Amino acid sequence: MATLDELKTKICGAVDALAGELEAISHKIHANPELCFKEEKAAAWLTEFLEQKGLKVERGIGGLPTAFRATVPGSAPGPTIAIMAEYDALPKIGHACGHNVIATSGAGAGAALAVAFGTLPFAGAIHVIGTPAEEGGAGKVRLMNAGAFKGVEAALMIHPRCGTRIWRPSLGIIKVNAEFHGKAAHASSWPWRGANALNAVIQLFVGLDAMRQQLRPEARVHGIISHGGDQPNIIPEHTAAEFYLRSESKAYLQELFRRFEGCAQGAATATGCTVTITTDPIVHDPLKPNVAMAALFEKNLERIDFPVDPEDPEAGYGSTDCGNVSQVIPTIHPYIRISPDGVPGHSREFAEWAKSPMARTGLVAAAKALAMTALDLVASPEELKKAKEEFAR
Ligand SMILES: [Zn+2]
């Protein structure tokens, strides 16, 4: 029987043979950006490709028409590992988050395993789960709630970036709305008869700015006034603001929300208004690290001589619905370089890099490392146990 090392060589060869096809699909997705929950073309191209390579494909899983599951079966029942693929774009700026590279590296990993082995030479199964709507739809949370990750013992994906990092934090988010209710009155002849809801919302921003000085450095509080009044000669009776509260820890996220409520109540009291606070039912969780799985991924990148970069002290952190997955099953979400240093995500510049030769190099390396790491986890019950024990601690 072949050694694990020989099996990995075979996987890498399969990815290299698929590279042209993967890049072509990546470019097609890039040229046809589809917003969250509307990724019909991308889902069709990816599932067609996976089916062609011999995977068993289920479309529309978890009640999401653009979600899918593609399976590489093992030699017997055993642990199931999921490789996640995203393929949604951003409004107006297209694939400025490079999800076309996530889609094709995840699908490429699954296709390479199927092409190399047909059936895995181990007990278990490897899934490629197509997860729609990362940008604004929290597709993975919906899929988890619908049971699409049931039975999955470990999950992995990559995200493109301006540098390769095995681990970077990702912040949890609570999305909050504050609506202030005052009293309308003529702004010139009877101002003393009104209660100014615009002053209340301004006071909320002032209060939060004062609060910010006492926040932990990684916390973020940022918002907009979504309704500021109707006409200058009317004391505004209704205003509204939307905020994202973000933090690296779930507990501190709740602390941020308590402080936000205090600021909003204070702003209402100070201006003689009342406030209604509502939160989005979907809370994004921060990423929970898994050192054991990250070490496997890093070793596999080393095996193919793909360099890992030092942390970039100039860059902050974003958020992902993968954070919610990482709180339920051992998960990794490493970053793969597809652009030079310092190119910010969600920029037109990054969208250009997402279809560059550098993106192809990143895509190929990522597909290899994802496939090899998934294989490590089904091949070695010891490695999977380490990941699960770390998760449980
Ligand atoms: Zn993204």
**Mind listing the pLDDT tens digit for each residue in 31-53?**
999 999 999 999 999 999 999 99
Do β-strands 80-85 and 172-181 pair in parallel, antiparallel, or remain unpaired? unpaired
Token pair for 246: 């973000």
User: How many domains, in total, are found in the chain?
Assistant: 2
Tell me how far the alpha carbon of residue 87 lies from the centroid of ligand 1, in angstroms. Answer: 9
b/e sequence 44-81, b meaning 16+ C-beta within 10 Å: ebbbebbbebbbebebebbebebbbbbbbbbeeebbbb
Q: Flag whether pLDDT at 270 surpasses 90.
A: yes
Tell me how far the alpha carbon of residue 92 lies from the centroid of ligand 1, in angstroms. Answer: 15
Tell me how far the alpha carbon of residue 162 lies from the centroid of ligand 1, in angstroms. Answer: 13
Please tell me the distance from the alpha carbon of residue 376 to that of residue 166, in angstroms, as a whole number: 17
Tell me how far the alpha carbon of residue 172 lies from the centroid of ligand 1, in angstroms. Answer: 14
CATH classification at residue 185: 3.30.70.360
Domain C-terminal end among 219, 248, 279: 279
Q: Are residues 137 and 183 in the same domain?
A: no
Q: What is the 3-state secondary structure (H, E, C) of 212-271?
A: HCCCCCCCEEEEEEEECCCCCCECCCEEEEEEEEEECCHHHHHHHHHHHHHHHHHHHHHH
Q: Are residues 8 and 154 in the same domain?
A: yes
Q: Are residues 154 and 87 in the same domain?
A: yes
- Largest Cα–Cα distance in the chain? 91
Tell me how far the alpha carbon of residue 159 lies from the centroid of ligand 1, in angstroms. Answer: 7
Mean pLDDT of the region 275-293: 96
Q: What is the pLDDT of residue 391?
A: 98
Q: Are residues 72 and 121 in the same domain?
A: yes
Tell me how far the alpha carbon of residue 229 lies from the centroid of ligand 1, in angstroms. Answer: 35
Tell me how far the alpha carbon of residue 99 lies from the centroid of ligand 1, in angstroms. Answer: 6
Q: What is the pLDDT of residue 281?
A: 92
Tell me how far the alpha carbon of residue 36 lies from the centroid of ligand 1, in angstroms. Answer: 12
Percent of the residues in the chain that have a pLDDT greater than 90, as a whole number: 98
Percent of the residues in the chain that have a pLDDT greater than 70, as a whole number: 100
Tell me how far the alpha carbon of residue 265 lies from the centroid of ligand 1, in angstroms. Answer: 35
E-strand ranges in the chain read 56-59, 68-73, 80-85, 125-130, 152-156, 159-161, 172-181, 220-227, 238-247, 274-279, 331-332, 335-337
Q: Flag whether pLDDT at 1 surpasses 80.
A: no
Tens digits of residue pLDDT in 316-370: 899 999 999 999 999 999 999 999 999 999 999 999 999 999 999 999 999 999 9
Tell me how far the alpha carbon of residue 112 lies from the centroid of ligand 1, in angstroms. Answer: 24
Tell me how far the alpha carbon of residue 346 lies from the centroid of ligand 1, in angstroms. Answer: 8
Q: What is the pLDDT of residue 184?
A: 98
**In Å, how far are 19, 30, 219, 226 from 252, measured between CA atoms?**
43, 37, 8, 26
**For the chain, what is the mean pLDDT?**
97
Q: Are residues 252 and 234 in the same domain?
A: yes
Tell me how far the alpha carbon of residue 232 lies from the centroid of ligand 1, in angstroms. Answer: 41
Q: Are residues 45 and 145 in the same domain?
A: yes
Residue (of 109, 95, 122) closest to 156 by Cα position: 109
Q: Are residues 26 and 140 in the same domain?
A: yes
Q: Are residues 193 and 163 in the same domain?
A: no
Tell me how far the alpha carbon of residue 54 lies from the centroid of ligand 1, in angstroms. Answer: 28
Tell me how far the alpha carbon of residue 381 lies from the centroid of ligand 1, in angstroms. Answer: 31
> What is the extent of the structural domain holding 13?
4-169+286-392
Domain C-terminal end among 261, 279, 297: 279
Q: What is the pLDDT of residue 313?
A: 83
Tell me how far the alpha carbon of residue 210 lies from the centroid of ligand 1, in angstroms. Answer: 31
CATH classification at residue 317: 3.40.630.10
Q: What is the pLDDT of residue 197?
A: 98
Tell me how far the alpha carbon of residue 204 lies from the centroid of ligand 1, in angstroms. Answer: 30
Token pair for 236: 């505004």
Q: Are residues 64 and 201 in the same domain?
A: no
Q: Are residues 67 and 202 in the same domain?
A: no
Tell me how far the alpha carbon of residue 201 lies from the centroid of ligand 1, in angstroms. Answer: 31
Q: Are residues 35 and 78 in the same domain?
A: yes
Tell me how far the alpha carbon of residue 258 lies from the centroid of ligand 1, in angstroms. Answer: 29
Tell me how far the alpha carbon of residue 32 lies from the centroid of ligand 1, in angstroms. Answer: 17
Q: Are residues 115 and 11 in the same domain?
A: yes
Domain C-terminal end among 218, 248, 279: 279
Tell me how far the alpha carbon of residue 16 lies from the centroid of ligand 1, in angstroms. Answer: 25
CB 317 within 8 A of CB 303: no
Confidence bin at 314 (pLDDT 50/70/90): confident
Tell me how far the alpha carbon of residue 231 lies from the centroid of ligand 1, in angstroms. Answer: 39
